[in-house]
């Protein structure tokens, strides 16, 4: 293996091949659940270097772990504990290569921080619509590899829906130059969809051409307390009916989730959380003006109060207030982390089934584990819930997970499947869920996935043990 490391240093330079101690940022997953051990961390700076690195690793039979910002939640971008995997970190590949205003597209390298892509689009007079809590550290390549969702899926779709073309280094080290900005190209299989969401198991995304959108003339944000999950679903239906395509965000947050934010981030003002079991955050993007946007929100919320699907409402009166409301929503995960280890579930359900799922599963968990806290929040508009489980107050979180995590997962996932849902909405499978995926995935679909993996990566060196069992 020393010969392999020497070869990688010749490709990328000594300073960009890291070995030994001090690699925690690359070897430990974001949640801190596992600390792996890499053979080395390689930081290529160009697509040509990525190609050469992959060819060299393939020749040596060395497994590769593609990595961006390493902010994933399913241990898909961190090495295992074998000390034999090569982490290929793409953060040096951070250039926005091209913006085409007439075509409304942006081409950027995979290591670009999502927030920097947003800023580049903004400076060019456009909106890059992907937005999520980790946008200050996650990268475009990771977003594509996991098909990230975020807070504006309701209007703009997942990362997959925003991508028009890819540049990919295959498992053999060849470069597919597919950075098309075409919205129509019916010349055979659409290869980009195979690599998006594949979590680095089929190849390494090195650049992408992404859609840009017109900036809205105005954005207004509202916060509403609602008496139940069903009321939140009813309010969503009203918002879709009255706001149409202007509805860009609809987030639901439980009282327990907001209580953790109030506890661990006391400087944040958390509206109405003590007054109702759930609150929702609504964002409207308007094509006319602030006044028009506010009028439309006032009409919606007035009707919601009249129909008793909302018990109280707040409309942000400034951009600063809007940001504060969003900061509350995006601080829930950090508040959970501060509270201690927890059992995360990133699930999706038909919106029509969410209220009954929550009702039945809440009761089942409370019966099985008295005192357990359900931290339920997420993107209600697209059916994606983060249905997380925190141990009872005063209990040891690590011991709780050790004793109950498998049973809790089984209970939640069986309920999800009974309602026609999915056990992974936007986080992916990684290593965290790879063992259980065969229980919840159609066997024919799984076999097709294995066939694709075998065809594209016959040596099984690209992120092995993630998504599919070895």
Report the CATH number at residue 160: 3.30.465.10
Specify whether 51 is located in the same domain as 110: no
pLDDT digits (tens, 9 = 90+) for 100-130: 999 999 999 999 999 999 999 999 999 999 9
Specify whether 155 is located in the same domain as 58: no
Specify whether 110 is located in the same domain as 172: yes
Specify whether 6 is located in the same domain as 81: yes
CATH number at residue 275: 3.30.70.2190
Specify whether 230 is located in the same domain as 203: no
Contact 50, 169 (CB under 8 A): yes
Among residues 23, 25, 132, the alpha carbon closest in space to that of 70 is found at 25
Domain end (from 56, 89, 122): 89
Contact 121, 98 (CB under 8 A): no
Specify whether 238 is located in the same domain as 292: yes
Specify whether 133 is located in the same domain as 157: yes
Domain end (from 278, 306, 333): 333
pLDDT digits (tens, 9 = 90+) for 444-462: 999 999 999 999 999 999 9
What's the domain range around 188?
96-214
Specify whether 109 is located in the same domain as 189: yes
Residue 347 covered by a domain: no
Whether residue 33 is predicted with pLDDT greater than 80 in this model: the reply is no
Domain end (from 182, 214, 246): 214
pLDDT digits (tens, 9 = 90+) for 380-439: 999 999 999 999 999 999 999 999 999 999 999 999 999 999 999 999 999 989 999 999
Residue 339 covered by a domain: no
Residue 277 covered by a domain: yes
Q: What is the pLDDT of residue 319?
A: 87
Residue 368 covered by a domain: no
Residue 108 covered by a domain: yes
Q: Over range 11-37, report the average pLDDT.
A: 90
Specify whether 273 is located in the same domain as 181: no
Contact 201, 146 (CB under 8 A): no
Specify whether 185 is located in the same domain as 247: no
Specify whether 207 is located in the same domain as 232: no
Indicate the pLDDT class of residue 90, thresholds 50, 70 and 90.
very high
pLDDT digits (tens, 9 = 90+) for 77-86: 999 999 999 9
Specify whether 321 is located in the same domain as 247: yes
The structural domain count of the chain equals 3
pLDDT digits (tens, 9 = 90+) for 317-373: 988 999 999 999 999 999 999 999 999 999 999 999 999 999 999 999 999 999 999
Indicate the pLDDT class of residue 150, thresholds 50, 70 and 90.
confident
């Amino acid at each position: 293996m020393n010969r392999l490391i020497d070869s990688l240093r010749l490709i990328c330079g000594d300073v960009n091949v890291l070995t030994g101690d001090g690699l925690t940022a690359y070897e430990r997953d974001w949640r801190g659940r596992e600390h792996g051990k890499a053979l080395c961390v390689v930081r290529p700076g160009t697509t040509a270097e990525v190609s050469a690195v992959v060819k060299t690793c393939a020749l040596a039979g060395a497994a590769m772990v593609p990595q961006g910002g390493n902010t994933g939640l399913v241990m898909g971008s961190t090495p295992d504990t074998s000390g034999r995997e090569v982490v290929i970190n793409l953060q040096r590949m951070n250039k926005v290569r091209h913006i085409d205003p007439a075509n409304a597209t942006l081409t950027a390298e995979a290591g670009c921080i999502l927030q920097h892509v947003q800023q580049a689009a903004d400076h060019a007079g456009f909106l890059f619509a992907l937005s999520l809590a980790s946008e200050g550290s996650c990268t475009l390549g990771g977003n594509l590899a996991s098909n990230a969702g975020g807070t504006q899926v309701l209007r703009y779709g997942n990362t997959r829906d925003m991508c028009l073309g890819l540049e990919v280094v295959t498992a053999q080290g060849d470069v597919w130059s597919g950075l098309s900005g075409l919205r129509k190209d019916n010349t055979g299989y659409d290869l980009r969809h195979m690599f998006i969401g594949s979590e680095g198991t089929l190849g390494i995304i090195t650049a992408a051409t992404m859609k840009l959108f017109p900036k809205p003339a105005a954005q207004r944000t509202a916060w509403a307390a609602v008496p139940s999950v069903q009321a939140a679903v009813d309010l969503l239906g009203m918002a879709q009916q009255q706001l149409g395509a202007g509805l860009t965000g609809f987030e639901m947050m439980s009282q327990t989730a907001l209580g953790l934010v109030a506890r661990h981030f006391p400087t944040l003002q958390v509206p109405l959380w003590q007054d109702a079991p759930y609150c929702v955050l609504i964002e409207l993007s308007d094509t006319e003006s602030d006044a028009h946007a506010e009028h439309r929100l006032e009409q919606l919320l007035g009707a919601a109060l009249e129909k008793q699907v909302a018990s109280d409402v707040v409309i942000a009166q400034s951009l600063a207030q809007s940001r504060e409301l969003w900061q509350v929503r995006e601080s829930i995960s950090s508040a959970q982390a501060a509270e201690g280890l927890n059992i995360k579930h990133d699930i999706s359900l038909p919106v029509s089934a969410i209220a009954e799922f929550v009702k039945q599963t809440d009761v089942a968990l409370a019966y099985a584990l008295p005192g357990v806290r359900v931290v339920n929040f997420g993107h209600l508009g697209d059916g994606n819930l983060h249905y997380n489980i925190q141990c009872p107050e005063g209990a040891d979180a690590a011991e709780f997970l050790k004793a109950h995590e498998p049973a809790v997962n089984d209970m939640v996932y069986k309920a999800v499947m009974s309602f026609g849902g999915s056990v992974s909405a936007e986080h992916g499978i990684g290593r965290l869920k790879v063992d259980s995926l065969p229980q919840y995935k159609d066997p024919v679909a799984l076999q097709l996935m294995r066939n694709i993996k075998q065809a594209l990566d016959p040596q099984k060196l690209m992120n092995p043990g993630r998504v599919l069992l070895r």
